[in-house]
Amino acid sequence: MKRMGQLIGNFQRMITILLITRAKYKNINDHKKMKKKREFLVLSLSLFLLIGISSGAYSQNPPPPPGQHNLTGDQPPQGGNAPIGAGAALLVVMGVVYGLSRIPGLRKDSTE
């Protein structure tokens, strides 16, 4: 009878240890999720503040127009007149290709 009591006591201790271990690992996973959320919040807030503050703080007035401005008609705008069509299209296409490559469902699985 004493042996049976020891077995039951050991079994109860083992169950208690398993439950505590499970609760501990569950809390670790919750902690990891909260840490990721906190990191995302801090990074997004700092990026927002960095872009929002720096863009307006260092802006300058435009330069004055050239001396012969508006005497015989408007002069062309200052600062280059380069087209951005081909470069912008290439940038958009590369962004779409990269975005599609990051979608996990579009890749073919080699094990099928």
Q: What is the pLDDT of residues 23-75, one digit of tens each?
A: 666 666 677 788 888 888 888 888 887 777 766 666 677 777 766 666 666 66
Report the distance separating Cα 29 and Cα 35, nearest Å: 10
- The pTM score is 0.29
- Contacts for 89 with CB less than 8 Å, ≥ 6 apart: none
Of 89 and 112, the structure prediction assigns the larger pLDDT to 89
Q: Are the C-beta atoms of residues 100 and 106 closer than 8 Å to each other?
A: yes
Q: What are phi and psi of 39, to 5 degrees?
A: -60, -40
Q: How far is CA 25 from CA 12, 93, 102, in A?
A: 20, 44, 30
Write down the H helix ranges in the chain: 2-57, 85-101
In this predicted structure, the answer to whether residue 96 has a pLDDT above a threshold of 90 is yes
Instruction: Determine the distance from the C-alpha atom of residue 105 to the mean position of all C-alpha atoms in its chain, rounded to a whole number.
Output: 20
Alpha-carbon distances, residue 11 vs 4, 23, 24, 67 (angstroms)? 10, 18, 20, 96
